[in-house]
Amino acid sequence: MMNRPLLDIIYSDEHIVVVNKPGGLLTIPGKGSEKTDCVTSRLKTLFPECIEQPSVHRLDQPTSGLLVLALNNDAHSNLSIQFQRREVEKEYIAVLEGIVDEDSGRIELPFRLDVDNRPYQIYDAVQGKLGITDWEKLEVSANTTRVRFKPHTGRTHQLRVHAAHEKGLGCPIVGDSLYGSAQQGDLLKLCAVKLAFKHPKTNEPLCFEIEEIF
């Protein structure tokens, strides 16, 4: 038996598995033996027939929520194309530090990796790649703002950068130790609550939704 928690499986068939990733768990293995425990390693333990690289998209380690993974090469190829063509619908719920004045909007912000401070991402109007996020204010409470994010691109740390940067919302996500004032290990209040795509074999529209835990 495994001495670690099993995956929270939302859906599975012979082609794909949809899981609810807990915050703090890597999507894929990191560098070093201490970073081998991840969604894909647990998936391969539960589904021995799974391909070597089942991941078609990722969530940051501190981010929780929905992930779809492929069990075979055909499913992996199909899903990867859907993500590349931006045909996958994704929604996130986040709680931000501070009060956002506007009710909704679109953030279009170019950014790139800070090569001297990995994995930190920095605004760069010249060399940065554009990240696009629609957002909607849901609730204001105790000097925080709950928002819904709908990203149209999938850049590294996109929602965290778009929330924190002054050219975005100017309010970092609660629990973000990289772009906000939180301490390492604090709960990042960012959850992927909706994931919609076409089944890679049947082409049937699929939509999965969960409730955030914060």
Specify which residues 122 forms β-bridges with: 112
Q: How far apart are CA 179 and CA 181, in angstroms?
A: 7
- From the list 60, 103, 114, 116, the catalytic residue is 60
Find the length of the chain.
214
CA angle (157 as vertex; 37, 143 as ends), nearest 5: 110
Q: What are the DSSP calls for 135-178, one per residue? A: EEEEEEETTEEEEEEEESS--TTHHHHHHHSTTTTS-PBTT-TT
176 catalytic per annotation: no
Contact 192, 92 (CB under 8 A): yes
Phi, psi of 163 (to 5 degrees): -70, -45
Query: Catalytic positions, please?
Result: 60
